[in-house]
Homo-oligomer: A and B are copies of this chain.
Amino acid sequence: MALEHAILVSLLEKPGSGYELARRFERSIGYFWTATHQQIYRVLKRMESDGLLDVRDVAQQGRPDKREYSVAGRGRTALSEWLHEPIEPESLRHDLAVKIRGAAFDDPAALISEVERHRQVHRDRLAHYLAGEARDFTGPEAPAAPDAGQELQHVVLRGGIAYERMTIAWLDDVLATVHRLVASHPRT
């Protein structure tokens, strides 16, 4: 149940409401984990009733009130325990690869626009990650002497950047392969 742990890490980095967490899951935390607001609100309630989180109602001007969560002592303990347990290395789940192999039983040319669309999404993500890296870690505004938390955030972000670059290069390989197939086995 890594969503709980991802929430604990995010709230330790900075307390916030369910809405704010959902936004973070679209951004920085989203480099390695995704979650929708529905999921987040449900898990936050459970974590609060389990005593992992503290809540504070915050009134705001010109905005709805919000419930600001922060990590309680038991939450910190729970996170620490999980950090010391070994976890299973991830396995890939890549729908697009299923499509690519499936194209052998259909028209491979139909793949091209789909692969191009995916490549564009990964290009956009890469640009977004690189902008974040420049802003927070390598640009002129970045801290001269980053602390441990910043170093660790940066190495995770470098992982996201490496993943997007690898994916774009692979999709180029896929496109070249499909173009070759279509050229050598034309279907008038």
Interface residues of A (CB under 8 A from B): 2, 5-6, 8-9, 12-13, 30-34, 76, 79-80, 82-84, 86-106, 108, 110-111, 114, 117-118, 121-122, 148-149, 151-156, 158-160, 162-163, 165-166, 169-170, 173-174, 177, 180-181, 185
* Interchain CA distance A96-B153 in the complex, whole Å: 12
**Separation in Å of the A35 CB from the closest CB of chain B?**
10
**Separation in Å of the A79 CB from the closest CB of chain B?**
6
> Given the complex, which residues of B lie within 8 Å of A33, measured CB to CB?
92-94, 97-98
Can you list 30 A-B pairs with a CB-CB distance of less than 8 A?
A: A2-B95, A2-B98, A5-B102, A6-B98, A8-B102, A9-B105, A31-B92, A31-B97, A34-B91, A79-B105, A79-B106, A82-B102, A86-B117, A87-B95, A87-B99, A89-B122, A90-B96, A92-B163, A100-B156, A101-B149, A101-B152, A101-B156, A148-B181, A148-B185, A151-B177, A152-B181, A154-B177, A158-B173, A162-B169, A165-B166
Copies in the complex: 2
Is the Cβ of B155 less than 8 Å from the Cβ of A166?
A: no
Choose from B76, B98, B108, B173 the contact partner of A148 (Cβ within 8 Å). B108
* Interchain CA distance A121-B90 in the complex, whole Å: 10
Choose from B87, B99, B122, B152 the contact partner of A103 (Cβ within 8 Å). B152
> Given the complex, which residues of B lie within 8 Å of A91, measured CB to CB?
30, 34
> Given the complex, which residues of B lie within 8 Å of A156, measured CB to CB?
97, 100-101
Is the Cβ of B98 less than 8 Å from the Cβ of A159?
A: no
**Separation in Å of the A86 CB from the closest CB of chain B?**
6
